[in-house]
Structure 1
Amino acid sequence: MKTRAECLEKYGSDYFIEKKIKEGELFKVGKGIYSEKKYVPEIAMFVYKYPNAVVTMKSAFYFHGLTDVIPDECDLATTRDATKIKDERVKQYFVPDDFFEEGIEAADYKGYDIRIYNKERMLIELVRYKSKLPFDYYKEIILNYRKLLPRLDMQKIQDYALMAPKSNKVLEILQMEVL
């Protein structure tokens, strides 16, 4: 993928960019985002467009195979001081700066690199947002986490829980519902 600025640098002008589009050598995949591939997954385009954001919540649960519910929008986490994302296809979660970087991993999604929170961090996010999620959806993911428990890094889960806002409540819910 390339930004408009990168395309201008490579092709010289908007005229030549449009020419490449008409010839089928370049495709506009989003506002100001171009690709040499015709199909680019929406999540990959958003991660490229917002490089400081991290895939989280429903998008991450789906990516990690914890649910089969396809998200309606792309959930991205940013720091609290980040600019508001003005795209109705994106749901933005503002995360405290001291907790934002914890659990980020690079993953491959259909040939595209994305930044996403790991499964251990997503368990903490599930518990933190429990009251904002539909009950059936929450239960499905909790049951899938219980099946995964032997393969998860328990030390990471405990560390993330202690760093999370309202850590006492998070630890209490983890103890009662997951562990």
Structure 2
Amino acid sequence: MLQAFLRYTEATGTAGHLTSLRRVFSSGEALPTGAVRSFTDFLGDRTGLINLYGPTEAAVDVSHFDCAGLDAHRLSPIGRPIDNIRLYVLTKAGTEVPVGTPGELHIAGTGLARGYLGAEELTKEQFQPDTVAGSGRMYRTGDLVRRLDSGDIEYLGRRDAQ
């Protein structure tokens, strides 16, 4: 939808009329570098662009990143967890990886779903004990990410063909 919005504002020349627009939240798919560049070109610094990330299994949006000042030639990070959510970057063995090292994103906290209705085996496979915090559960997203020096998390892709 963000890309459709940007194409529309470019085609109609209406970006200058959006003076009351203060913030746009992008969620639901990876935020392409071209969209960040277009957004900045058309709406400038007066309108904030926030990249949100999260799967349906965990309260839909679990992280946020303010794209202000982002190098528009690289992917927008998915950022940091929202309140009451923990994000872990783990190896296949379940240990945390060093900063900058790719791993699988796991989500824990109060926004986590109970599991998949009528799919006990899949629930057991994807929702596992939170071994990092030592209590509760965490969800294996299947998303490959890495933690940046800033503490933000950068999305790299999928571990499967989903």
- TM-score, length-scaled by structure 1: 0.28
TM-score (norm 2): 0.30
- Determine which structure has more spread, i.e. the larger CA radius of gyration: 1
Between Structure 1 and Structure 2, the one with more helix by share is: 1
Structure with larger RCO (C-alpha < 8 A, sep 6+): 2
